[in-house]
Amino acid sequence: MKYMDEFRDPTTAKKLVEEIKRLAPIARGQRDMPLQIMEFCGGHTHTLFKYGIESMLPAEIEMVHGPGCPVCVLPMARVDDCVAIAEQPGVIFTTFGDAMRVPGTRKSLLQAKAEGCDVRMVYSPMDALALARKQPEREVVFFALGFETTMPSTALTLLQAYREGLQNFSLFCNHITTPATMRAILTDPDLRLDGFLAPGHVSMVIGAHPYDFVTRDYHKPLVITGFEPLDILQALWMLVKQFAEGRCEVENQYARIVPEAGNVAGLKAIAEVYETREHSEFRGLGNIGDAGIQIREAYAAYDAEKKFKLQATASTHDPEHLKCADVLRGVMKPWECPAFAKTCNPQNPLGALMVSPEGSCAAYYAYGKLAKRS
């Protein structure tokens, strides 16, 4: 395939749906419940709804929506830290746009900007580095947020700042590792998952082998997939085929992009700059060991946590009436939250799942899935 419309071809989609429907009863076997398949990434969730894929699936398959994106699992305490840095005199705080409106306990970065803080949306950490070059009298901080997809770019930006000897640039590191987050989901007693659709963009960096533990230790098949409708449908067909044939493997549907060994240069930069934190708190998932990332001591001069001497923040939780944690973990659908589409909506987001364009609440709202359909 060469063109985008080939990945959205309705004739091919129909054939895949028919094959999934043929295999699904065999795959489910004698169990009463449908197969529970989690799409880990919010990009997959949006594709499912935008193209009506979920409504095409047979009753034997139920999609369970996973964490979505790093913004969705960002705890309010870390937003509070962002605001605290932005409020420092002389600081230019830079971030990707989807983090601007995530609420903290006091305010969001967008509210801090409205109150006079110099908070700027950028498209790349290199944009932040360019600001640091142009304004050497200001401290420029970039909010390094994301799964492994964005880790190489922030690591390489830090290395460039180090080579140039820039002293007024730093990263506020909130990167997250996908495999450790998956492990936390798999050990959640409230979830009964049967298989995974794994994110293609993350896998482009880390490759296929970091997922081996999912099949080896938890006996759940997993398929790495892209983000077009035919990508998702082919990946679901591959998963259902594994169930029907009694197999449990890591398969790579997105082989046109994802090499088995990942991006060697990107992984090298990540290993040089970052190391795992012993424990990190995530919204809805609690404290997870080895999931969070921090900057190595060799580059401590570029670590905003150390430069601004941030104190360890106590755990914070969403207001009780918000069910962000349960939706994020896949144990509740967005429309089951009493605030969904009422007090919490894209114009007035109360939780990160409605703020982020990859959040499941944002997807349900955008594509009209506001209540359970019979």
| CB environment 52-66: b (16+ within 10 A), e (fewer) | ebbebbbebbebbbb
- CA dist 8 and 277 (Å) reads 41
- Does 132 lie in the same domain as 96? yes
- Does 154 lie in the same domain as 93? yes
How many domains does the chain contain in total?
3
Mean pLDDT of the chain: 91
CATH code, domain carrying 172: 3.40.50.11740
| Residue located via tokens 């935008």 | 50
Asked whether the predicted pLDDT for residue 372 surpasses 80, the reply is no
53 found inside a domain:
yes
**What is the pLDDT, as a whole number, of residue 370?**
67
CATH code, domain carrying 59: 3.40.50.11750
- Does 303 lie in the same domain as 167? yes
Q: By the 8 A CB rule, do 38 and 330 touch?
A: yes
80 found inside a domain:
yes
**What is the pLDDT, as a whole number, of residue 257?**
96
pLDDT tens column, 77-133: 899 999 999 999 999 999 998 899 888 888 999 999 999 999 999 999 999 999 999
Start-end of H helices in the chain = 10-28, 42-50, 53-56, 76-86, 109-114, 125-134, 151-164, 178-186, 200-206, 212-218, 229-245, 264-273, 304-307, 324-328, 352-355, 360-366
**What is the pLDDT, as a whole number, of residue 374?**
46
- Does 81 lie in the same domain as 148? yes
**What is the pLDDT, as a whole number, of residue 313?**
61
1: confidence class by pLDDT, cuts 50, 70, 90? low
- Does 265 lie in the same domain as 126? yes
Segment 136-140 shows an average pLDDT of 98
Question: Which residues are CB-contacts of 147 (< 8 A; sequence separation ≥ 6)?
Answer: 69, 70, 175, 176, 177, 178, 181, 199, 202
**Amino acid at residue number 47:** T
Q: Is the pLDDT higher at 75 or at 16? A: 16
Note if the pTM is more than 0.75: yes
pLDDT tens column, 281-328: 877 677 787 889 999 999 999 999 999 998 766 556 677 788 888 888
**What is the pLDDT, as a whole number, of residue 316?**
62
**What is the pLDDT, as a whole number, of residue 113?**
97
- CA dist 96 and 82 (Å) reads 13
Question: Which residues are CB-contacts of 355 (< 8 A; sequence separation ≥ 6)?
Answer: 71, 98, 101, 102, 103, 349, 362
- Does 146 lie in the same domain as 77? yes
pLDDT tens column, 176-217: 999 999 998 899 888 889 999 999 999 999 999 999 999 999
- Structural domain ending residue among the three candidates 227, 252, 277: 252
- Does 166 lie in the same domain as 80? yes
**What is the pLDDT, as a whole number, of residue 314?**
55
- Does 196 lie in the same domain as 49? yes
Q: Which two tokens stand for residue 118?
A: 């110099």
Q: What radius of gyration do the chain's Cα atoms show?
A: 21
Asked whether the predicted pLDDT for residue 58 surpasses 60, the reply is yes
116 found inside a domain:
yes
Eight-state DSSP code of residue 18: H
315 found inside a domain:
no
- Does 95 lie in the same domain as 242? no
- Does 332 lie in the same domain as 288? no
- Structural domain ending residue among the three candidates 228, 252, 276: 252
313 found inside a domain:
no
Largest pairwise CA distance in the chain: 68
Per the structure, the complete domain to which residue 35 belongs is given by 6-67+179-252
- Does 228 lie in the same domain as 87? no
- Does 277 lie in the same domain as 355? no
Cα–Cα–Cα angle for 78, 74, 357, nearest 5°? 135
Q: Is the pLDDT higher at 7 or at 75? A: 7
**Amino acid at residue number 155:** A
**What is the pLDDT, as a whole number, of residue 312?**
62
- Structural domain ending residue among the three candidates 252, 271, 286: 252
Q: By the 8 A CB rule, do 141 and 172 touch?
A: yes
Segment 73-79 shows an average pLDDT of 86
181: nearest Cα among 147, 130, 151: 147
Residues facing 73 on adjacent strands:
none
314 found inside a domain:
no
340 found inside a domain:
yes
371: confidence class by pLDDT, cuts 50, 70, 90? low
346: confidence class by pLDDT, cuts 50, 70, 90? confident
CB atoms within 10 A of CB 187: 10
**What is the pLDDT, as a whole number, of residue 72?**
80
316 found inside a domain:
no
